[in-house]
């Protein structure tokens, strides 16, 4: 990438991914059951080598991948992203044994990963976690996990969870450790939540779930850093997901308003419509460039990654909400029909303003970094 312009090969790859998502992955997504893990879709992502790219890609490539898939199939994008989010802590902080057991299966879509951070009383304030990890005497330094996790994507169907629990070395973030917890551990149960989401989201209950020293990800007390490193990588790519949805909504609006008869011409002839479409396009482009800049900063090891990542997620997700909402308005009633692209995007676009740090949290991060 030169400046903020993609190279010819990058543009070609993105075009290939957009076509692939629409032609190969969209049919698999349509055959899935809402609120359930779509394992055939995951297997296809593995066969196509796209899950492998998540773990080998830099931040910019991850953004291009998510944006391009989101343009043609949001379900495929989300399935891919959740595999990365749930398994990246294993890649970054796991032992060789943990990586060998799980990552190959994640890359091929044969194991479903989940990132278990949020709790009923600790969503945006991740340092306020209450899930306890109590040391168990006589087990060589093991722990028992007790408490709940809530709003966990891929729960309760995941094969393993990256779980963040309070081991109590200190207050706040310094007392959190990360664990790799297979779904079949005794005492671990879950239930699905009926959410505005095509993928599963659930609640997990930990009733004295045993974890051993070899289940630890990184160091005791170092779990919050594992979580934040993961989120700093994935936050710009959440923005890329949002940009992909915004671009799809914008293109649909351009195509529709160019031919829809209205007042002796077409909708696009009306100045009010043209100005609104121009605003949608300008905001989408600004968000896209900010996402690419944040990803480039991450890949370059820049010191201001937390601020840039927060800015990218904030602007892109808020922009996507704006663009999709106005796209629906310009389409009128046709966009409210079940199965219409914009009806689908209207449901999908709301959640990214909340998960992986709500917009208000991103603003708080930005302000903190500015005053640092």
In the chain, the number of structural domains is: 3
> Do 102 and 132 have their domain in common?
no
- At 190, which CATH number? 2.40.110.10
Query: For residue 144, which phi and psi values (nearest 5 degrees)?
Result: -120, 125
> Do 98 and 233 have their domain in common?
no
In a domain, 212, yes or no: yes
Cα dihedral across residues 179, 181, 185, 188: positive or negative? positive
> Do 81 and 141 have their domain in common?
no
> Do 229 and 366 have their domain in common?
yes
State how far Cα 344 lies from the chain centre: 17
The reply to whether 356 belongs to the active site is yes
In a domain, 60, yes or no: yes
Identify the domain boundary among 63, 80, 107. Answer: 107
Q: Which of 75, 77, 318, 356 is catalytic?
A: 356
pLDDT at 161: 98
> Do 20 and 99 have their domain in common?
yes
> Do 283 and 341 have their domain in common?
yes
In a domain, 277, yes or no: yes
- At 62, which CATH number? 1.10.540.10
> Do 74 and 34 have their domain in common?
yes
> Do 215 and 229 have their domain in common?
no
In a domain, 304, yes or no: yes
In a domain, 1, yes or no: no
> What is the full per-residue pLDDT of the chain (372 aa) written as tens digits?
445 778 999 999 999 999 999 999 999 999 999 889 999 999 999 999 999 999 999 999 999 999 999 999 999 999 999 999 999 999 999 999 999 999 999 999 999 999 999 999 887 777 789 999 999 876 677 999 999 999 999 999 999 999 999 998 777 778 899 999 999 999 999 999 999 888 899 999 999 999 999 999 999 999 999 999 998 889 899 999 999 999 999 999 999 999 999 999 999 999 999 999 999 999 999 999 999 999 999 999 999 999 999 999 999 999 999 999 999 999 999 999 999 999 999 999 999 999 988 999 999 999 999 998
In a domain, 2, yes or no: no
In a domain, 282, yes or no: yes
Identify the domain containing residue 91 by its residue range.
Answer: 8-107
> Do 330 and 260 have their domain in common?
yes
pTM: 0.94
In a domain, 361, yes or no: yes
Report the 3 state secondary structure along the chain: CECCECCHHHHHHHHHHHHHHHHHHHHHHHCCCCCCCCHHHHHHHHHCCHHHHHHHCCHHHHHHHHHHHHHHCHHHHHHHHHHHHHHHHHHHHCCHHHHHHHHHHHHCCCCCEEEECCECCECCCHHHCCCEEEECCCCCCCEEEEEEEEEEECCCCCCEEEEEEECCCCCHHHHEEEEEEECCCCCEEEEECCCCCCCCEEEEEEEEEEECHHHEECCCCCHHHHHHHHHHHHHHHHHHHHHHHHHHHHHHHHHHHCCCEECCEEHHHCHHHHHHHHHHHHHHHHHHHHHHHHHHHHHCCCCCHHHHHHHHHHHHHHHHHHHHHHHHHHHHHHHHCCCCHHHHHHHHCCHHHCCCCCHHHHHHHHHHHHHC
> Do 31 and 127 have their domain in common?
no
- At 274, which CATH number? 1.20.140.10
Identify the domain boundary among 203, 219, 235. Answer: 219
Identify the domain boundary among 90, 107, 124. Answer: 107
> Do 91 and 179 have their domain in common?
no
> Do 240 and 273 have their domain in common?
yes
């Amino acid at each position: 990438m030169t400046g903020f312009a993609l190279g010819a090969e990058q543009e070609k790859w993105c075009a290939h991914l957009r076509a692939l998502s629409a032609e190969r992955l969209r049919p698999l997504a349509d055959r899935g059951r809402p609120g359930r893990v779509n394992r055939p879709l995951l297997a296809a992502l593995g066969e196509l080598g796209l899950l492998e790219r998540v773990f080998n890609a830099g931040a910019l490539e991850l953004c291009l991948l998510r944006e391009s898939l989101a343009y043609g199939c949001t379900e495929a994008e989300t399935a891919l992203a959740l595999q990365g989010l749930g398994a990246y802590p294993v890649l970054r902080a796991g032992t060789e044994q943990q990586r060998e057991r799980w990552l190959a299966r994640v890359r091929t879509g044969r194991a479903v990963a989940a990132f278990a951070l949020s709790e009923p009383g600790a969503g945006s304030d991740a340092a306020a976690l209450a899930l306890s990890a109590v040391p168990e005497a006589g087990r060589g330094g093991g722990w028992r996990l007790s408490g709940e996790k809530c709003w966990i994507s891929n729960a309760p169907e995941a094969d393993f969870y990256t779980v963040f629990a309070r081991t109590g070395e200190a207050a706040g973030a310094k007392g959190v450790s990360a664990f790799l917890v297979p779904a079949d551990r005794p005492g671990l149960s879950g239930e699905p939540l009926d959410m505005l989401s095509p993928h599963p989201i659930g609640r997990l209950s930990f009733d004295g779930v045993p974890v051993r020293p070899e289940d630890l990800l990184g160091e005791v007390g170092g779990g919050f850093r594992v979580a934040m490193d993961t989120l700093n990588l994935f936050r710009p790519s959440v923005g890329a997901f949002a940009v992909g949805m915004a671009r799809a909504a914008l293109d649909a609006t351009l195509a529709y308003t160019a031919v829809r008869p209205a007042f002796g011409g077409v909708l696009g002839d009306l100045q009010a419509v043209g100005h609104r479409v121009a605003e949608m396009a300008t905001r989408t482009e600004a968000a896209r460039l900010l996402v690419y800049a944040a990803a480039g900063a991450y890949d370059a090891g820049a010191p201001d990654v937390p601020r840039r990542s927060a800015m990218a997620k904030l602007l892109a997700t808020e922009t996507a909400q704006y663009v999709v909402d106005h796209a629906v308005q310009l389409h009128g009633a046709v966009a409210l029909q079940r199965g219409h692209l914009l009806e689908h995007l209207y449901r999908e676009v709301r959640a990214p303003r909340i998960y992986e740090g709500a917009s208000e949290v991103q603003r708080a991060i930005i302000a903190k970094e500015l005053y640092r």
